[in-house]
Structure 1
Amino acid sequence: MSDPFICGVLPALVTPFRDGAVDEKAFVELVERQIAGGVHGLVPVGTTGETSTLSHDEHRRVVELCVQTARGRLPVVAGAGSNSTAEAIELARHAKTVGADAALVVTPYYNRPSQEGLYAHYRAINDAVQLPILVYNVPARTSVDISNATLERLSKLPNIIGIKDATGDLPRASLQRLECGSDWVMLSGNDDGGLGYMAHGGHGCISVTCNVAPELTSRFYSDCMAGRWVEALAGQDRLIRLHKALFADASPAPTKFALSRLGLCTDEVRLPLTPCSEAARAEVLAGMAAAGIG
């Protein structure tokens, strides 16, 4: 198929805070920086956006700000996940109402539904909201893993268009592409495995590193999509230490530290997260230096 409307690199945007509140000015400036850096889309209020500690009003406001700032220049994929199906539907409806182009819906965490429960969850959202939906599979955080067989069933529903795959299982990505068909959108959720995921037929990545290095990550994914694999390997080598460093402590604390060093926002995170350790800060600075940033 031709490239889907959601492809390339999309930053999993941080939600900047100042004195405990959402820093709307910094958020808008971060979005503009991403657009100027050549990214292919925007993802507010995902895991990296600390959605689990935002109030519902803050969550909705950040989505609105992102859509308003993007002004149609790039697709906005709004986080809309919950372990309550009714709440996920409400968040997806809000995303559609304010003009988001799609929603990212994580598999329900904590209550650990069966494969049939996962299918029913996403089918209910599909039936309730006429908005493209990306399934977000991140078993390390949710303690539930959606199978390729369930994804194949979901791929037949009109509004379930693809996946953010944070499993790190590259052979499964190839099998999923074959099972879900040529129209299934496949985005990685792991920066460090981006090169391999693209080689397995992926369409892009919802990226943490992109917050810090939008130009470099955009160039990397543009090279991958164009089949410039020698250039892409060089980009992977340049970024790999930064990819790793941004998870040297609980995310997004290292990313916010890096952004604070660039003068773009504070390094504030919300409890139960804390600012990253001195050891993690040293790794982030080394990763930034290796990438030629800062």
Structure 2
Amino acid sequence: MRKPLFTGSAVAIVTPFTDNGVDYQSLAKLIEFQIQSGTDAIVICATTGEASTMPDDEHIATIKFAVETVNKRVPVIAGTGSNDTRHAIELSKAAEAVGADGLLSVTPYYNKATQKGLYKHFKLIADSVKIPIILYNVPSRTNLNINPETIKALAKIENIIAVKECNLGQVGDVVNLCGEDFSVYSGDDNSVLPVLSLGGQGVISVMANIIPQDTHNMVAKFLQGDCKGAIKLQLQTLNLIKALFSEVNPIPVKAAVNLLGFTAGQCRMPLTELEDHNLELLRSEMKAYGLIK
């Protein structure tokens, strides 16, 4: 029986940038804020962390910094996906070498691989490392779905232990096909409880960047049988989530982290700053939530 890499809320943490690179001092503060607020795992250099804009040396250095800063207090899961299988393997091996506890590997984008190609892609990555891998199925960004039958085949590979699933309609099929020792995590903040109700283990979350304690508590309450308490928290977050996704992620959440008083900097091009009307919406919802005055 394979154990989950984590149960609860993992933050897909933003990467603070300066004009010259990563702002490691600010990243350390964000990591400490997450750990002190109950976050169950740190996902570094994923979509929200803008990994697609990071050169390999910066990408791996940032993973290494997160591993050293966290210092085994919670798992560190490194985003190492690519639409080039060889590149994904290189990143995955490098992340393992600097101490990552697990990997998050996104569906290849743009190439539009077949299901056979997806299986081979992920199998080759899994064969190249020993640490656990979480598949990342996000059709809205990749225009490609990992079908449940393909996930079932991949789940038979020892170190492919979970999926971050953004296709809510197939969660039940994945759970049925893959069994209890394969974990399913919600990839959408507005559908954490639906995924948990179908047997999920938690969420890899954007909103946890600014409400880590509530995101952790939502999952914890549900798994402990306090469904009413979990539902109350999920409903409470919905308007805030709408503001956090008023533009493409991570544009709004980096603005939100800055509004909290941390230094997240701006997104790297081609992502730009949040439009003024969406910034006002975000500020309004953060005030309503009690995050800022």
Normalized against structure 1, the TM-score is what?
A: 0.96
- Decide whether the 8 Å contact of 1:241 with 1:290 is kept in 2: no
- Please report how far the alpha carbon of residue 4 of structure 1 lies from its aligned counterpart in structure 2 after TM superposition: 2.3
Which residue is 1:76 aligned to?
76
Aligned partners of 2:200, 2:223: CA distance in 1, in Å?
A: 9
Match of 1:215 among 206, 213, 216: 213
Deviates most, 114-123 or 222-231: 222-231
Superposed counterparts of 1:124-143, under 5 Å: 124-143=124-143
| Residue 56 (str. 1) matches residue 47 (str. 2) | no
Deviations 1:96-135 (A, max 9, x none): 1111111000011110100000000011111111111111
**CA shift for structure 1 position 21:** 2.2
Distance 1:130 1:54 in 2: 24
Contact 2:4 2:161 in 1 (8 A): no
Secondary structure at 1:111's aligned position in 2?
Answer: coil
How far apart in 2 are the matches of 1:126 and 1:215?
A: 32
Equivalence map 1:15-164=2 (5 Å): 15-164=15-164
Contact 2:10 2:205 (8 Å CA) reproduced? yes
C-alpha distance in structure 2 between counterparts of 1:46 and 1:262, whole Å = 22
Please report the TM-score for the alignment, with normalisation by the length of structure 2: 0.96
1:168, CA displacement in angstroms? 3.1
Q: Matched residue of 1:11: which SS?
A: strand
Distance in 2, Cα, partners of 1:292 & 1:280: 18
Name the % identity: 39
Runs of 4+ in structure 1 deviating by more than 2 angstroms, as ranges, are: 1-5, 18-21
SS of 1:74's partner is coil
2:275 corresponds to: 277
Superposed CA RMSD: 1.3
Render the CA deviation track for 1:42-89: whole Å, top value 9, x for unaligned: 100000000111111111111011101110000111001000111111
1:20 and 1:212 mapped to 2: Cα distance? 25
Indicate if the aligned counterparts of 1:38 and 1:215 stay in contact, CA closer than 8 A. Answer: yes
Structure 1 position 175, deviation (Å): 1.4
**CA contact 1:238–1:290 (8 Å) conserved in 2:** no
> Does the Cα contact within 8 Å between 1:250 and 1:276 map onto a contact in 2?
no
SS in 2 for 1:113: coil
- Identify the residue that residue 292 of structure 1 maps to in structure 2: 290
Distance 2:263 2:230 in 1: 30
How far apart are the structure 1 equivalents of 2:48 and 2:20? 17
Paired AA for residue 150 in structure 1: T
Give the Cα separation in 1 of the matches to 2:288 and 2:47: 26
**Distance verdict in 2 for CA 1:21–1:5, change over 3 Å:** closer
Q: CA deviation at 1:266?
A: 4.0
The residue aligned with 2:187 is 189
In structure 1, the partner of 2:6 is 6
Q: Quick check: 1:203 aligned with 2:178?
A: no
Unaligned segments of structure 1, at least 5 residues: none
**What is the alpha-carbon distance in structure 2 between the residues aligned to residue 2 and residue 222 of structure 1?**
21
The amino acid across from 1:205 in the alignment is V
Distance 1:243 1:143 in 2: 23
| Number of residue pairs matched by the alignment | 292
